[in-house]
């Protein structure tokens, strides 16, 4: 269950990364299909990261001499991570929900006061969440897996951003 929640959070993070890295790169007015594609890219990136993490987990479990204890250790670390990631995800979803209100002022304010700061603290929060999870872990394998997941999570946005930047540069070069 804990693993499933972490996977869902990673997928949500991927969706939002896909959207965020595509913003400001398409000057059309009707952007629904553009952002839909961006969300799909983000989701796909999160799936790739999740698969890599799952393969790493399987490898560690396969070769670990103390498998049952390691599983308990991993579960305990993952549960600790949720203490950080779940409230963050709830805050992000709440600020996104505010944008459904029909007031332009409320929607703008949600961007300035909630989404902006939440975006700003994302890398820091990833770092804190993983460290909080693996800090009191018993096995080095747990710590290694935690750091692998952290690297993957932080890489998603960087990779998506790089790809979006390349696409934009090509498009602008074709115009001027």
- Residues of this chain that interact with another protein (CB under 8 A) are 23-31, 104-105, 107-108, 111-112, 116, 119-120, 165, 168, 172-173, 175-176
The angle subtended at Cα 123 by Cα 84 and Cα 156, nearest 5°, is 110
* Residue placing its CB nearer to another protein in the complex, 88 or 139: 88
* Residue placing its CB nearer to another protein in the complex, 108 or 136: 108
For the bound state, the minimum distance from the C-beta of residue 103 to another protein, rounded and expressed in Å, comes to 9
First to last CA, the chain: 52
* Residue placing its CB nearer to another protein in the complex, 25 or 79: 25
DSSP E strand stretches across 15-148:
none
For the bound state, the minimum distance from the C-beta of residue 168 to another protein, rounded and expressed in Å, comes to 7
For the bound state, the minimum distance from the C-beta of residue 116 to another protein, rounded and expressed in Å, comes to 5
Rounded Cα gap, residues 84 and 92, in angstroms: 13
Cα 137 to its chain centre, rounded Å, is: 23
Token pair belonging to 94? 């709440």
Residues 6 or more apart in contact with residue 155 via CB below 8 angstroms: 49
For the bound state, the minimum distance from the C-beta of residue 107 to another protein, rounded and expressed in Å, comes to 6
* Residue placing its CB nearer to another protein in the complex, 41 or 80: 41
Rounded Cα gap, residues 134 and 74, in angstroms: 9
For the bound state, the minimum distance from the C-beta of residue 96 to another protein, rounded and expressed in Å, comes to 13
* Residue placing its CB nearer to another protein in the complex, 28 or 100: 28
């Amino acid at each position: 269950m804990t693993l499933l929640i972490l996977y869902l959070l990673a997928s949500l993070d991927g969706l939002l990364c896909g959207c965020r890295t595509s913003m400001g790169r398409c000057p059309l007015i009707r952007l629904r299909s553009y952002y839909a594609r961006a969300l799909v890219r983000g989701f796909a990136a999160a799936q790739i990261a999740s698969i890599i993490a799952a393969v790493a987990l399987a490898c560690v479990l396969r070769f670990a001499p103390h498998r049952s204890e390691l599983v308990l250790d991993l579960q305990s670390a993952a549960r600790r991570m949720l203490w950080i990631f779940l409230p963050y995800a709830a805050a992000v979803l709440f600020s996104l929900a505010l944008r459904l209100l029909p007031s332009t002022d409320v929607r703008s304010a949600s961007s300035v006061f909630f989404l902006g700061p939440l975006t700003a603290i994302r890398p820091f929060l990833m770092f804190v969440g993983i460290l909080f999870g693996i800090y009191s872990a018993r096995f080095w394998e747990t710590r290694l897996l935690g750091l692998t997941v952290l690297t993957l999570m932080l890489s998603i946005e960087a990779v998506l951003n790089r790809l979006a930047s390349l696409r934009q540069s090509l498009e602008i070069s074709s115009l001027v």
